[in-house]
């Protein structure tokens, strides 16, 4: 709620503001009435103020080229092996050349881009470049485990052999000692003689009883 006095003061300030605005618009110079030469001079001065001087550009320091270490990727590598190769090569290059940028080369000589390398890989001839060609990664020997079927087959074979040996021993135990002493085993060893070694000659004879010691006769 405004009183009559307040509304009168508000109308007075409004008329005063409208009067000041009309006076400022009447005093504004008309650009269309100015001569063409004055407009041209004004535009020329504006352009001169915006043109940078040659001394300001020449004083800007130029960035030094980044040294690069180039690594050739060996051919015939799977994606997993190539990824591991690049990882090891980066680690080795950073140890030897900490300030260098690592760039990988494909077997055909083109630059490999895995999405993580920067686009500034193509350097000029003045760039300090170190070529590094590392060997293929060593393949780990795969540990082989025996097959279950092979283990079961060996177990069955060993069981049959033990049963056969036990049966043979039980049969031999039934033979009397007198008959055992009558049996002698004879083993002969032959050797080749002559220039060509085609002539056979008896070299050694071994005699053994049923369970007795071995007797060797050298000829």
- Cα distances from 32 to residues 36, 39, 81, 154, in angstroms, run 9, 9, 76, 112
Q: What is d(CA 188, CA 217) in angstroms, rounded to the nearest whole number? A: 10
Local structure of residue 111 (DSSP, 8 states): B
Range with lowest mean pLDDT among 11-15, 67-71, 121-125, 147-151: 121-125
How large is the average pLDDT for residues 87-108?
73
Name, of 27-41, 87-101, 146-160, the range with top average pLDDT: 146-160
Give percent of the chain above pLDDT 70: 60
Name, of 34-48, 84-98, 105-119, the range with top average pLDDT: 84-98
Q: What is d(CA 72, CA 91) in angstroms, rounded to the nearest whole number? A: 15
Confidence band for 205, pLDDT divided at 50, 70 and 90:
confident
Q: What is the pTM of this model?
A: 0.27
**37: its two tokens:** 């030469």
Give percent of the chain above pLDDT 90: 9
pLDDT at 119: 41
Q: What are the boundaries of each domain within the chain?
A: 68-132, 146-175, 177-219
């Amino acid at each position: 709620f405004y009183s009559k006095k307040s509304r009168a003061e508000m109308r007075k300030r409004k008329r005063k503001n409208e009067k000041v605005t009309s006076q400022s618009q009447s005093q504004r110079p008309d650009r269309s009435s100015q001569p063409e030469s004055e407009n041209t001079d004004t535009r020329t001065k504006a352009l001169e103020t915006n043109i940078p001087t040659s001394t300001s550009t020449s004083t800007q320091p130029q960035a030094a080229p980044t040294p690069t270490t180039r690594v050739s990727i060996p051919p015939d590598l799977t994606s997993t092996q190539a990824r591991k190769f690049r990882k090891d090569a980066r680690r080795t290059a950073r140890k030897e050349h900490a300030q260098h940028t690592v760039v990988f080369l494909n077997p055909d000589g083109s630059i490999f881009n895995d999405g993580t390398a920067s686009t500034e890989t193509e350097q000029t001839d003045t760039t300090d470049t170190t070529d590094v060609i590392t060997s293929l990664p060593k393949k780990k020997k795969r540990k082989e485990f025996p097959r279950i079927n092979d283990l079961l087959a060996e177990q069955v074979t060993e069981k049959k052999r033990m049963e056969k040996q036990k049966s043979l021993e039980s049969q031999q135990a039934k033979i009397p000692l007198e008959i055992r002493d009558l049996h002698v085993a004879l083993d002969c060893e032959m050797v080749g003689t002559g220039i060509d070694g085609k002539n056979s000659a008896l070299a050694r004879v071994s005699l053994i009883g049923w369970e007795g010691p071995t007797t060797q006769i050298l000829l």
